[in-house]
Amino acid sequence: MTVDLNKLHAVGAIAEEAEGKWGMVIDQDLCTGCQACVAACAMENNIAFVGEEDAGYGRSMHWIRTERFWEGEYPEVRMTDYQPMLCQQCGKAPCEPVCPAFATVHSQAEKINLQVYNRCVGTRYCANNCPYQVRSFNWRDYQDSRIRPEITILANQFNPDVTVRRRGVMEKCTFCIQRIHKAQDKAKSEGREVEDGEFTTACAQACPASAITFGRIDHPESLVSQLARMPHTQHHLEELGTLPSVTYLKGA
Amino acid sequence: MVRKFFEWIISPMGRIAALIAGLSLFTLAAYGVFTLQQSPEQPIQFRHDIHVNLQVQCLYCHPGALRGASPGLPTLTKCWGCHQQIAKTDTSPRLAVLKDYIANGKDIAWVPVAQVPDFVHFNHRPHIAAGVNCEDCHGDMSVQEIAVNPQVMNMGWCLNCHKEKAGDDEVKLTKLTDCGTCHY
């Protein structure tokens, strides 16, 4: 019996080359570690504040985080460049084949990894299999003021274009798919294609150093494609064969 | 005590009593579920059929459907724009409610009829642009008195139409059946 992987939406799991559509370039030489992207992402995507107790258990929820590492032995310790880490939207994503509910699937239309909240049953297999550790799990209904009374819930600034996730659901960066849809909808209503730089993700928009660039990776003339062709690029954990859509620039 | 109760329950009288208790519990539960499924009453008993038969266009009161995600529900000014020039506004008992609203300057808290869950992101504009008419999803409003939802708006119903509209176009079918098109 042959299985049509296209029908299973699992074609990305065996692909040799990623068919990217949307891509991101992060310039680590420009990043100042100011965390503006982290705040902007939380505001755009209705990410919950988990409070002190749950944060102590390592249950903080972020779709993007700024990693920093140290080099050398004390007292000659040197900090490496700041490294914003978000879902790499892998072409061959390790999270996808392990989901028993097909809640994390590869979007054939947008070529990104989706998390379908209403399908997710919260097994957390995907987070365990993610080499970048970028998925976060809703341990509680954090948006309910009765659950953690000490947390300030900014319910009035929720983004209506993004689902408010409930307890027991995994979530992760979506490359601001609501903005992609909005831009595509606007372009279509005006009878044209989406232009490069017409819209960007919340993290890229908020970055004061313009370290983050977002756009069409499959258009060779777009800014993100040109940056991704620079000589000093690197993909994180490339040796795992995940074919990430996010490219890092370092040591220019 | 328990033994006595067990002996009574297996006696003919006990069985009948148990049956009656079970039936009444079931009836109560069914009534409870039924009342939960009732939508709350509209603040104004708005007659869709009268307005549609007077040739008022859907998009006159719900103009957002043409431009964006939400069609919008009409405000007091929209109603009053026509009704202040209509003689019947003064005589009709149904329209006294509208006059009350005008006198108090309150907003009308319409009860939305056709709704999708929070995890579904429905946009009216592309549907209208693709040539889907209002009545294809919302039913023929020229025969409905108070608006009701003509069908269960679930994912199978959405996908049936999406597949039908896409036809043999692979690119369109991929886009229209992609999870990320509606769920994010």
The CATH number linked to A232 is 3.30.70.20
* B130-156 pLDDT, tens digit each: 999 999 999 898 888 888 888 888 899
> Which helix (H) or strand (E) covers residue A206, if one does?
helix A202-206
B183 vs A109: CB contact, 8 Å cut-off?
A: no
Q: Quick one: pLDDT at residue B35?
A: 84
Nearest CA to CA, how far is B118 from chain A (Å)? Answer: 6
Residues 6+ apart with CB under 8 A from B78: B61
Work out the mean pLDDT of chain B and round it to a whole number. Answer: 90
How far, in Å, CA of B124 to CA of A205, rounded? Answer: 27
- The β-bridge relationship of strands A83-86 and A64-67 is antiparallel
Average the pLDDT over B12-18 and give the result: 92
B174 vs A108: CB contact, 8 Å cut-off?
A: yes
The interface pTM score, or ipTM, of the predicted complex is: 0.80
Which H, E and C letters describe chain B, residue by residue?
Answer: CHHHHHHHHHCHHHHHHHHHHHHHHHHHHHHHHHHHCCCCCCCCCCCHHHHHHCCCCHHHHCCHHHHCCCCCCCCHHHHHHHHCCCCHHHHCCCCHHHHHHHHHCCCCCCCCCCCCCCCCCCCHHHHHHCCCCHHHHHCCCCCCCCCCCCCCCCHHHHHHHHHHHHCCCHHHHHHHCCHHHHCC
Q: Quick one: pLDDT at residue A145?
A: 85
Asked if A250 and A83 touch (Cβ cutoff 8 Å), the reply is no
Say if residue B38's pLDDT is above 80: no
B174 vs A118: CB contact, 8 Å cut-off?
A: no
Say if residue B76's pLDDT is above 50: yes
Task: Indicate the number of domains in chain A.
Answer: 1
A112 vs B180: CB contact, 8 Å cut-off?
A: yes
**Which regions of chain A are under pLDDT 50?**
1, 11-16
* B129 at A interface, C-beta within 8 A: yes
Q: Quick one: pLDDT at residue A202?
A: 95
- What are the structural domain ranges in chain B? 2-36, 48-153, 154-184
Nearest to B119 among A105, A117, A178 (CB): A117
Residue A184: domain span: 5-249
Q: Quick one: pLDDT at residue A114?
A: 93
CA atoms within 13 A on the CB side of B69: 12
Average the pLDDT over B19-30 and give the result: 96
